[in-house]
Amino acid sequence: MYSLYVHVPFCRRRCSYCDFNTYAGQEHLQSAYVDALVQELAALAASAGEALPVHTVYFGGGTPSLLPPAHVGRVLEAVARHFALASDAEVSLEANPGTLTLPYLRDLRAAGVNRLSLGVQSAHPDDLRLLERDHDYPAVVRTMAWARRAGFENINLDLMFGLPQQPLVRWQRTVRLAADLSPEHFSLYALTLEHGTPLAHWVARGLVPQPDPDTAAEMYLWADDFLRQAGFQQYEISNWARAGRACRHNLQYWRNLPYLGVGAGAHGFAAGVRTANVLTPGAYIRRMKDGRPRAFPRTPATVEARAITPEDEMAETMMMGLRLTEEGVSRSVFRQRFGRDLEAVYREPIRRLIAQGLLTWSPDGERLHLTPRGRLLGNWVFREFV
Nearest 5 degrees, angle CA 134-CA 139-CA 140? 100
Single out the segment in contact with ligand SF4 by CB under 6 A; choices: 41-49, 55-63, 253-261, 319-327: 55-63
137 within 8 A of 159, measured Cβ to Cβ: no
Taking the complex as a whole, how short is the minimal distance between the CB of residue 130 and ligand SF4, in angstroms?
Answer: 13
Taking the complex as a whole, how short is the minimal distance between the CB of residue 65 and ligand SF4, in angstroms?
Answer: 10
Q: Does 139 participate in binding ligand SF4 (rule CB under 6 A)?
A: no
3-class DSSP state of 157 = strand
In DSSP terms, 359 is beta-bridged to 370
Q: Go through 310-341 and write b for each residue having 16 or more CB atoms within 10 A of its CB, e for each that does not.
A: eeebbbbbbbbbbbbbebbbbbebbeebeeee
Q: Which of 61, 64, 261, 265 binds ligand SF4 (CB under 6 A)?
A: 61
Taking the complex as a whole, how short is the minimal distance between the CB of residue 74 and ligand SF4, in angstroms?
Answer: 22
Provide the CA 190 distance to its chain's centre, in angstroms: 14
Taking the complex as a whole, how short is the minimal distance between the CB of residue 163 and ligand SF4, in angstroms?
Answer: 13
Q: Does 268 participate in binding ligand SF4 (rule CB under 6 A)?
A: no
Q: Which of 3, 39, 63, 166 binds ligand SF4 (CB under 6 A)?
A: 63
313 within 8 A of 345, measured Cβ to Cβ: no
Measured from the CB atom, the residue of 62 and 73 that comes closer to ligand SF4 is 62
Total residues contacting ligand SF4 (rule CB under 6 A)? 11
Q: Does 62 participate in binding ligand SF4 (rule CB under 6 A)?
A: yes
Measured from the CB atom, the residue of 116 and 270 that comes closer to ligand SF4 is 116
Taking the complex as a whole, how short is the minimal distance between the CB of residue 260 and ligand SF4, in angstroms?
Answer: 21
Q: Which of 15, 219, 273, 370 binds ligand SF4 (CB under 6 A)?
A: 15
Taking the complex as a whole, how short is the minimal distance between the CB of residue 17 and ligand SF4, in angstroms?
Answer: 7
Q: Look at strands 273-277 and 23-24 and give their pairing.
A: unpaired
Taking the complex as a whole, how short is the minimal distance between the CB of residue 63 and ligand SF4, in angstroms?
Answer: 5
Q: Which of 4, 6, 8, 11 binds ligand SF4 (CB under 6 A)?
A: 11
Q: Does 96 participate in binding ligand SF4 (rule CB under 6 A)?
A: yes
Single out the segment in contact with ligand SF4 by CB under 6 A; choices: 12-20, 98-106, 190-198, 352-360: 12-20
Q: Does 263 participate in binding ligand SF4 (rule CB under 6 A)?
A: no
CB atoms within 10 A of CB 82: 19
Q: Does 14 participate in binding ligand SF4 (rule CB under 6 A)?
A: yes
Q: Which of 20, 202, 222, 361 binds ligand SF4 (CB under 6 A)?
A: 20
In DSSP terms, 277 is beta-bridged to 302
**Which amino acid is located at 196 in the chain?**
G
Measured from the CB atom, the residue of 242 and 267 that comes closer to ligand SF4 is 267
Q: Which of 2, 3, 22, 381 binds ligand SF4 (CB under 6 A)?
A: 22
Q: Look at strands 23-24 and 10-11 and give their pairing.
A: parallel
Measured from the CB atom, the residue of 99 and 299 that comes closer to ligand SF4 is 99
User: Using CA atoms, how far apart are residues 308 and 318, in angstroms rounded to an integer?
Assistant: 15
Taking the complex as a whole, how short is the minimal distance between the CB of residue 25 and ligand SF4, in angstroms?
Answer: 12
Taking the complex as a whole, how short is the minimal distance between the CB of residue 19 and ligand SF4, in angstroms?
Answer: 8
The dihedral formed by the CA atoms of 19, 24, 28 and 29, expressed in degrees to the nearest 10: -10
Measured from the CB atom, the residue of 20 and 222 that comes closer to ligand SF4 is 20
Q: Does 189 participate in binding ligand SF4 (rule CB under 6 A)?
A: no
Q: Does 64 participate in binding ligand SF4 (rule CB under 6 A)?
A: no
What DSSP state is assigned to residue 113?
Answer: -
User: Using CA atoms, how far apart are residues 319 and 312, in angstroms rounded to an integer?
Assistant: 10
Q: List C-alpha distances in Å: 344 to 83, 104, 107, 339, 371.
A: 39, 53, 53, 11, 21
Considering Cα of 177, then 181, then 182, then 184, what sign does the dihedral take? negative
111 within 8 A of 79, measured Cβ to Cβ: no
Taking the complex as a whole, how short is the minimal distance between the CB of residue 94 and ligand SF4, in angstroms?
Answer: 8
User: Using CA atoms, how far apart are residues 21 and 261, in angstroms rounded to an integer?
Assistant: 14
Q: List C-alpha distances in Å: 294 to 75, 213, 270, 305.
A: 21, 46, 14, 11
Q: In the complex, which residues of this chain contact ligand SF4 (CB under 6 A)?
A: 11, 14-15, 18, 20, 22, 61-63, 96, 119
